[in-house]
Structure formats: structure tokens, C-alpha cells
Chains A and B, each alone.
Chain A
Amino acid sequence: MLKTRVMPCLLLKESKLVKTIEFKNPNYIGDPINAVMIYNEKEVDELVFLDITATVNNQKPSFKIIQEIATECFMPFTYGGGINNTQDMKTIFGLGVEKIAINSYAVENPTFITEAAKIFGSQSIVASIDVKRTEGGSYRVFTRSGSKNTGLDPVKCARTVETLGAGEILLTSIDKDGTMLGYDTNIIREVAEAVNIPIIACGGAGRIEDFGKAVAAGASAVAAGSLFVYHGPAKGVLINFPSRESLIGILK
């Protein structure tokens, strides 16, 4: 039995699929619905979609694209981006989304996690924490698609969101995003040791062997972007997912 969940973490910009490097230079990948249909075929464990411009542009989540994705998505679906009230969350859950990731707004208004968890249950609330190494070498939490340094320590932040009622933490390394150079296992280890809720490691996966390293560091689940949308050294766009057999070999 494969206990570790492996999930594509896909980015939306104006309802188009894009992929960033270090949270910058979004590169157009294609149509999100087409990607969902391919991931259905591949029987992917779970899908995460993050709208990377909703919050920074002060926009509401695009219910239309969320609905289109949910209608085709026959695996658990986490949505994140532009979430700042429970009414929108209710609408999104009603469309057939399992989990909602909250990032900027929760960091700015921590009690929002508690409010959301009370209404929808902790199992449906993912606290998304984006971390970056500062020049001093310490890790800090960044919000608003990586544009704002909150000065917060990710380990403390992880403990806080757990106490507040988050069901999972999506831990993304901004430095590793899109690099395909492997996960930042240091921060995964630090955060995983500090909390009991599952950690989804994200940022840096370049080969399936990287999953094993993230899990060894304490991740309960692994997410990847580039690895599942690009193919080969030239990074040609190809929506793909490794076979179950190869994953079992790595994650058993």
C-alpha cells in the first residue's frame, strides 16, 4: 500500500495553467481542464490548484474555472488563491472541492483558520506556507505569492496554524520552486518535527527519487509542479505522471 500521497501542484494565472521559477516568470503551460483529464487517466492521488494572481490582484477566486476543474476532477482537489472569507469557501466547497488552501489572509488574520475549520472541519483546511531563505540564512514566511516578507519564522508559523485548526500544511520552498534541484529537506525536517499534522512538501522536485528524500525528512505527502508538466532537459511541456510501480519503488 502506497501511503504517501503524490500530487501535482498546478498554478493558475487568469484561468490558464502556468509554471513559475522561484515564484517568478510564469510560463504558459496550457489548459487546466485538459491537464485534469490527463491526470484522471493517470489515476493521480490528488490535485492542487493554486491561483497565483488572485490575492496580489485583489481578485476573488474564479468560481468558473474552479467549477470546470471540479466537474472533471475525480480525485481529491485542493484549491488555493484569493481566499479571505468563509462565504467564498462555502461556494467553492459546494462546487465539489475537497480542501481549500489559505495563505496570505491566514497569515495576516490567524483566527480565520479557526473560523474556517469550525465551519468546514480541519480536514478540509490546508494552511499554505511559502518559505524563503533570507540573506542571513534564516527561513522566513512570505505571503502574496512570495512578494511580501512577513518576518515570521516558518516553524513557529506551522505550530500556530496547527493550534488554530489547520488539517494539513502545504510547505513550499520559494527558492526551490521550478528549479527541479530537489526539495529543501532542512525546512521540511524542521517543520515536520514541530507539528503533528501532515506536511505536503512542495518546491524543487526534479526526479521521483526526490520524493523519497522529502518523505525521509518527515513529509507525509509530496507535491511537484515542473516534474509533472515538463519533459526532458529542454523542458518541453508534457503533462505526465509516474507509474504507480515506479512510485511504490521509491516510497515503499
Chain B
Amino acid sequence: MIIDFGMGNLGSIQNMLKKIGVRAAISSDHGVIASAEKLILPGVGSFDQAVANLNALNLMTLLNEKVLKEKIQLLGVCLGMQLLTRRSEEGSMPGLNWIDAVAVKFRFENEKLRVPHMGWNTVEIAKTDDPLFEGFSDDPRFYFVHSYYVKCDYESDILTTTDYGVRFCSSVVKDNIRGVQFHPEKSHKFGMKLLRNFADL
């Protein structure tokens, strides 16, 4: 179940899920989301707009219910990962506050690195026992496009890290809640494997 809250690129996630034989619907309908077995929270665009859209669709309470009470598996993708935090430097609205973290902007003083961080990069798996990254070889590559990254309060929530001027948290996990900063749906076999692992959780 892919949550549609008007924030971009849902088609490609569904395309890849279809390719690996996982049934997925795209919807913002409360009834459909309420009956979902798993949720993907995608998102491309700005933080405040995303929060505003979730509010406008009255999805906050329902999502809290599904994720915190029912404890169904949720995967945030890109901005969807940043939405799991308390807040973002990009805006002023509060996030879902499921992970003790904030989203901060890449700032480079001495290095000549361009923002957004756009392109393929490797991830280093910090929690090797997490099933989301089960069966990956040494340096899985994923496609990234982002200007903000998630900074966790607790190291124990960091699932993978990636180096772009700084070593940042490229995916998080806390109980049934996971988020990836990169786009698995555009990351070839690496993304297929990750989404397969998510579907198998």
C-alpha cells in the first residue's frame, strides 16, 4: 500500500513492486489505508507541503493508529523518511515524530560538493541484523536526490550510513518503522532486493 498524499513519484515505486511481483495500491482513501498490511510513505518535494497535505487528508491520526498501535510495517522513502522525524530545517511544520531525529541541510564550507546530493552512492550497513538489508553484498549502491538529511538523536536508530562530505544516516529503523533516504525504486537490483525484503517483513 503506497500512501498517496500528493507528493510526487508514486508510479515508479508501484512499477518496481509490480516487477518483483508484489501487489500494491496507491491511495489516500482512509478505508484502503486502514486495511493495508504494509505502508510505504513516499515523497518528493518540500517538507511543509508534505505535512500540510497529510493534514489536509486527515491522515495523521490514521497513520499514528496504524503504525504506533497496530504496529504494521512502514517504509518512508526520501522525503518520506524525513517526515518520520520531529521537524526539518526546510520548514516549520512538525513531522510525524516517530523517530527521534531532525532533518538538516547539507552545508559544505571547504569542500566543493554540490547540493542536492544527486546520484548513486554506496551505503554502509550499520545494523547488519536488520532484515531490510538482508542478503546484500559489500557495497550496495542506491540513487539519491536530496538536500536535507536525517540526523538521529540515538545511534541505535541508524540503519545505514552514506558518505557525502559528511557521513550521514541514509536509512533508519525503529521497531516497525523504517525509512530510506535513497530511491530504491530507481536503484536497479539493489532497490528490487530492498523492496523484496520489505515485502517479506
Residues of A within 8 A of B (CB): 1-3, 5, 40, 43, 45-46, 70-77, 93-98, 120-124, 167-168, 196-198, 220-221
Does B143 make an interface contact (CB < 8 A)? Answer: yes
Instruction: Please give me the residue from chain A that is nearest to B147 by CB atom.
Output: A123
User: What CA separation (Å) do A71 and B122 show in the bound complex?
Assistant: 25
Contact of B143 among A75, A95, A96, A124 (CB under 8 A): A75
Query: Shortest CB–CB separation between residue A248 and chain B, in angstroms?
Result: 12
Chain B, interface residues (CB within 8 Å), range: 20 to 34
Contact of A74 among B46, B119, B185 (CB under 8 A): B185
Number of A-B contacts (CB under 8 A): 83
The docked-state distance in angstroms from the alpha carbon of A98 to that of B14 is: 14
Whether, in the assembled complex, B8 has its beta carbon less than 8 Å from a beta carbon of chain A, the answer is yes
**Bound Cα distance A2, B120 (Å):** 8
Is residue B176 within 8 Å, beta carbon to beta carbon, of the partner chain?
A: no
A43:B143 contact, CB within 8 angstroms: no
Least CB distance, A177 to chain B, in whole angstroms: 24
With A1-B121, A70-B15, A120-B45 as given contacts, are A94 and B10 in contact (CB-CB < 8 Å)?
yes
**Is A75 within 8 A of B188, CB to CB?**
yes
B71 within 8 A of A: no
Q: Given A75-B143, A76-B143, A120-B8 in contact, is the A221-B119 Cβ separation under 8 Å?
A: yes
Indicate if the CB atoms of B8 and A93 lie closer than 8 Å: yes
Per-residue contact bits, chain B 108-120, to A (CB 8 Å; 1 contact, 0 not): 0000001010111
User: Can you list 25 A-B contacts with CB-CB less than 8 angstroms, sorted by A residue number?
Assistant: A1-B122, A3-B119, A5-B119, A43-B188, A46-B143, A71-B15, A72-B15, A74-B19, A74-B185, A74-B188, A74-B191, A75-B186, A76-B143, A76-B145, A93-B9, A95-B11, A96-B14, A96-B15, A97-B9, A98-B145, A120-B8, A120-B44, A121-B8, A121-B44, A167-B118
Chain A interface SS verdict (over half) = loop
Q: How far is the CA of A71 from the CA of B9 in the complex (A)?
A: 12
For A70, list chain B residues within 8 Å (CB).
Answer: 11-12, 15
Contacts of B19 in A (CB 8 A): 74
- Pick from A2, A95, A123, A124 the residue with the most CB of B within 10 Å: A123
CA gap between A121 and B10 in the complex, in Å: 16
Min CB gap A34→B, angstroms: 16
121-166 of chain B: CB within 8 A of chain A:
121-122, 143, 145-147, 163
Which chain B residue lies CB-closest to A198?
B114
Chain A contacts for B191, CB-based, 8 A? 74
- The 5 A-B pairs of least Cβ separation, nearest first, read A96-B11, A96-B12, A76-B186, A43-B188, A5-B119
Contacts of B192 in A (CB 8 A): 74
B120 touches A5 (CB 8 A): yes
Report chain B residues within 8 Å CB of A93. Answer: 8-9
The answer to whether A74 and B45 have CB atoms under 8 Å apart is no
